[in-house]
Amino acid sequence: MGQIKRIHDMLISGEISCVELTKKYLEAIKNSNKELNAYITVTPEVALAQAEAVDKKIANGEEIGLLEGIPMTLKDNISTKGIETTCASKILTGYKPIYDATVYELLQKEGVVMLGKANMDEFAMGSSCETSYYGGAKNPHSLDHVAGGSSGGVASAVGGNLAVYGLGSDTGGSIRQPASFCGIVGLKPTYGAVSRYGLIAYASSFDQIGPITQDVEDAAIVFDAIAKYDERDSTSQGSKPAAPTLNDDIKGRKIGIANQYLDGVREDVKQAVLDAAKAYEDMGAEIVYFDLPELKFALPCYYILAMAEASSNLGRYDGIRYGYKAEHYNGTHDMICRTRSEGFGKEVQRRILMGTYVLSAGYYDAYYKKAVNLRGAIVEAFDRAFELCDAILAPTAPVTAFKNGYLFGEETDQIEQYLSDICTVPVNTAGLPAVSVPCGVDGEGLPIGMQLIGKKFDEKTILNLAYKYEQAEDKRIETKWGVKL
């Protein structure tokens, strides 16, 4: 049984009240957040008020839903009315949104208990959580290692049992890679499946909100609750529910492996993925190998487009309407420049500059337009691949969690950092859904993750495959942190 259902049963049987449960989590956060740095803001008043409402319903003999009273966290780029939402950036210090993101609104209708806002790379730009203005979140399996990024705080909190589940966002791997590093499950839904209303934008044609959970069943339950059409997001479509078909037989299912996905991947990670393929064969699925040469240019294509979109999206931070404002300036232009240079971190400024460069006169055709067309080629390549299989199996990241400071070390440059996203970005470039699941442990005791990539709006197939794998070969490992139930 998944963790959410287990806690749900404890709540309805009266084994624990929702307030007691919530207090346990708040206490654990108090004890462990100094080390894990998973939360930027903790919201005990909000969580306890939400928990009391759930207890009242239970006391009245009313039925409660599966997500009702389950303590969770939101990445700090998801807007919460009246609760500071910083994107882990100095430039949004003190910013309290005046509306809720649709996903939080939906979860409130389900009776959510929201523990606080989770750490992340600044504006979701990074793969280690270390670009956060508040310092990086740590890996619950080893404090010497990062939680991954950009949704590092959510992954650290869920992996470290400081929340039952959380919502992150995935622009180039930001849900799946930290989930993989922290040994938990992360689902990046199809572009358009979950409303982006209230998600502070990084790269709008890639961004997608999704669940980070302790097991596959939980991911399906949370996904089904948030994958709803929303009239406030013009790209919103909703998706089909995934929970009802989790346990379907996978005999005869075709799982594809693209040879290029295994290029340059560390040997133990590669072996863990191939072992998973073997496990699928044992369950009656068929493995098909093929080439996907277009993967080679997915990474530069992604970075060009994401940086271009970011440079435009981040134009709104001017120190006039919200957030940080420079103290000393002379004239409006000077005020805006100073605010932005003092408020944005180095990596954010680098991406704004690069995005501006590829969009500027003389370079637009060579970079931006070319990348847009390459994106079309990548979409078509995946379409062809899915004529051969129902889902694609690949590593989530070429390595396990990085050592703290690795990505910002003297000898590591930006490109090396960008290259670490090689396995995750093609999915965002093509707008596909993918779920990361633990599939092994490396020599240092750090989790290895694999991802199952699906056809558009076919989350149910990849979650079904992930669930069957987890049932047969549970590779999750315990951490010493947080609430033990």
Partner 1 sequence: MVTREDIENIALLSKLFVDEKDLDSLTEEMQKIVAFADTINNVEVKTGEFDNINNLSNAFRKDEVKESLPVEEILKNAPEQAEDHFLVRKRA
Size of the site for partner 1 (CB under 8 A): 76
Residues 126-145 that bind partner 1 (CB under 8 A): none
**Burial class of residue 1 (count of CB atoms within 10 Å of its CB; 0-12, 13-18, 19+):** exposed
List all residues 6 or more positions away from 396 whose beta carbon is below 8 Å from its beta carbon: 173, 176, 177, 179, 180, 423, 424, 436, 449, 450, 451
Output the DSSP codes for 375-400: HHHHHHHHHHHTTT-SEEEEESSSSS
Question: Smallest distance from the beta carbon of 183 to partner 1, in angstroms?
Answer: 31
- Per CB under 8 A, which of residues 407..426 are in contact with partner 1? 413-415, 418
- Are 91 and 344 in contact, with CB atoms under 8 Å apart? yes
Q: Please identify, among the stretches 44-52, 126-134, 261-269, 347-355, the one whose residues bind partner 1 according to the rule CB under 8 A.
A: 347-355
Beta strand 71-75 with 209-213 is: unpaired
Q: Is 174 annotated as catalytic?
A: yes
Q: Are the CB atoms for 403 and 352 separated by under 8 Å?
A: no
Binding mask 223-262 for partner 1 (x = CB under 8 A): ------x-xxxxxxx-------------------------
Sorted by sequence, the CB contacts under 8 Å of residue 166 that are 6+ apart come out as 72, 73, 74, 75, 118, 151, 154, 155, 157, 158, 211, 212, 213
> Using CB under 8 A, which of 31, 247, 259, 332 touches partner 1?
332
Phi (first) and psi of residue 440, to 5 degrees: 165, 180
Does 32 qualify as catalytic in the annotation? no
As measured in angstroms, the least distance from the Cβ of 469 to partner 1 is 27
Using the rule CB under 8 A, is 383 a contact of partner 1?
no
From 150, 169, 236, 239, active-site residue: 150
Should residue 337 be labelled a site residue for partner 1 when binding is judged by CB under 8 A? yes
The answer to whether residue 340 forms part of the interface with partner 1 (CB under 8 A) is yes
Binding mask 20-49 for partner 1 (x = CB under 8 A): ------------------------------
Instruction: Specify the residue, 284 or 409, whose C-beta has the smaller distance to partner 1.
Output: 409
Instruction: Please list every residue from 427 through 456 that binds partner 1, using CB under 8 A.
Output: 430-431, 456
Choosing from 23, 90, 287, 322, the residue that interacts with partner 1 (CB under 8 A) is 322
Helix H segments across 160-288?
176-181, 216-226, 267-282
What part of residues 98-117 is at the interface with partner 1 (CB under 8 A)? 98-99
Token readout for 308 is 């271009």
Binding to partner 1 (CB under 8 A) within 184-203 occurs at 190-192
The strand ranges marked E within 127-220 are: 138-139, 142-146, 165-169, 185-188, 209-213
Q: At its nearest, how many Å lie between partner 1 and the CB of residue 354?
A: 5
CB 101 within 8 A of CB 77: no
By CB atoms closer than 10 A (0-12, 13-18, 19+), residue 90 is middle
Choose which of 28, 301, 422, 435 interacts with partner 1 (CB under 8 A): 301
Please identify, using beta-carbon distances, which residue of 103 and 212 lies nearer to partner 1: 103
Q: Tell me the window of 50-58, 102-110, 264-272, 296-304 that interacts with partner 1 (CB under 8 A).
A: 296-304
Of 89, 174, 180, 239, the catalytic one is 174
Residue ranges in 53-92 that form contacts with partner 1 under rule CB under 8 A: none
Interface pick for partner 1 out of 56, 96, 278, 384 (rule CB under 8 A): 96
Interface of this chain with partner 1, residues 159 to 188, rule: CB under 8 A: none
Integer Cα distance of 252 and 433 in angstroms: 21
Q: What is the rounded CA–CA span in Å between residue 145 and residue 402?
A: 6
- Please report whether residue 384 would count as binding partner 1 according to CB under 8 A: no
219 binds partner 1 (CB under 8 A): no
CA–CA dist 408, 293 (Å, integer): 30
Nearby residues of 315 by Cβ (< 8 Å), 6 or more positions away: none
Torsion of CA 239, 209, 244, 280, to 10 degrees: 110
Considering the candidates 17, 75, 79, 456, report the single residue annotated as catalytic: 75
Q: Find the binder of partner 1 among 24, 275, 287, 297 (CB under 8 A).
A: 297
Residue 369 annotated in active site: no
User: What are the residue numbers of the active site?
Assistant: 75, 150, 174
